[in-house]
Chains A and B, each alone.
Chain A
Amino acid sequence: MNLPIPFLILSFLTILSALYVVTSKSPVHSVLALIFTFFTISAHYVLLNAQFLAVVNLIVYAGAIMVLFLFVLMLLNLSKEIEPIKSNAWAIAATISAGSILLMITAAFQVFGEAVAKNPVEGIGLVKALGNVLFTRFLVPFELTGILFLAAMVGAVLLGKREKKPTELSTNETINP
C-alpha cells in the first residue's frame, strides 16, 4: 500500500499529540499538545484542499479557544495542581468504552462508507466558493450563529461576574420588615 508520505507523517503526529493531551499530568502541557494537534489537523485540511478552513481552524481553535484555556489555567493557577488519579478499574472501563466505540464506528463506516462517490472538484475550499454558499443557502443559519454568539457572550459575562455580597440591611428595614 503506497500511502503518501505527508499523510503518514501528519497522521502519526496528530495521534501522538492527541494521546499526549489525554495522558499528560500537567494541564499546561496538555493545552500545548492540543494546540499542536490543531496545527496538524489544519495541515490535513490543506492536504484536503480546504484552505479556508485550515486558516480558520488555526485562528479560532489554536488562536482563540486555546488561548482562552490557557488564560483560565493561569487565572486559576491550576498548572501545579495534582489531579487525583482514577483507579485502575476506571482506566479499564474507559479503555473498554473508548475501544468499543472505536470498533463500532469503524464497523459502521465499513458498512456505509463504501457508498461515497469520489468526485473531487477543485476550488471548493476557497473563500470565494464557501462565501457564495454561506451567504446564499446558509444565510439564515449564519445570522443565527451571530445571535448564538451574543447569547454565549452575555452568558459568559454573567457567569464570570463576581457576585455582589448581600448588602447589610439598614436599620429602617429591620424595624419595618
Chain B
Amino acid sequence: MSSLTIFNQLEISHYIYLSTVLFSIGLFGVLFRRNAIILLMCIELMLNAVNLLFVAFSSYMGDSDGQIFVFFIMVVAAAEAAVGLAILVLVYRNTRKTDVSVLDNLKG
C-alpha cells in the first residue's frame, strides 16, 4: 500500500479530537496537581498535543511549514524545560518543597 493510504482511510477530524483530548488531559494535570515537576510535564504534554495537530495539518495539506513550526516548538520546549527545571531546583533549595502553592508572595 502507498504511504498516502492513511489519508484516505482517516479524516483529519480524528487527529483533531485526539490532540484536543491530549491537550485537555494536560490542562487538567496543570490545574489538579501541585508538584511543580508534574506541572512542567503536563505542559510538555500540552505542547505535544499541539505538535501532533501541527503535523497532522501539515501532512493533510501537503505543506511542510507546519512541521518546521513543530521543530521550533521543540526548540522552545527544550529551552523552557532547562530553565524551568533550573528554577525548580532553586526553589527546592530554598524551600525544601516543590509545591507551587508555596510560591504565593506575589499578591496585592
Q: Which residues from chain A sit less than 8 Å from chain B, CB to CB?
A: 2-4, 7, 11, 14-15, 18-19, 21-22, 27, 30-31, 34, 37-38, 41, 44-45, 47-50, 52-53, 56-57, 60-61, 64-65, 68-69, 72-73, 75-76, 78, 81, 83-84, 86, 90-91, 93-95, 97-99, 101-102, 105-106, 109, 113, 116-122, 124-125, 129-130, 133-134, 138, 141, 145, 148-149, 151-153, 155-157, 159-160
Contact = CB atoms under 8 A, between A and B. Distances in A.
Nearest to A4: B9
B24 A83 contact: no
B34 A84 contact: yes
Contacts, number: 241
A94 B28 contact: yes
A91 B74 CA distance: 30
Contacts of B67: 50, 52-53, 124-125, 130
B73 to A, nearest CB: 10
Contact-residue bracket for chain B: 35 or more
A38 B48 contact: yes
B70 A83 contact: no
A18 B32 contact: no
Pairs A-B, 5 closest by C-beta atoms? A121-B62, A152-B79, A94-B31, A22-B29, A98-B28
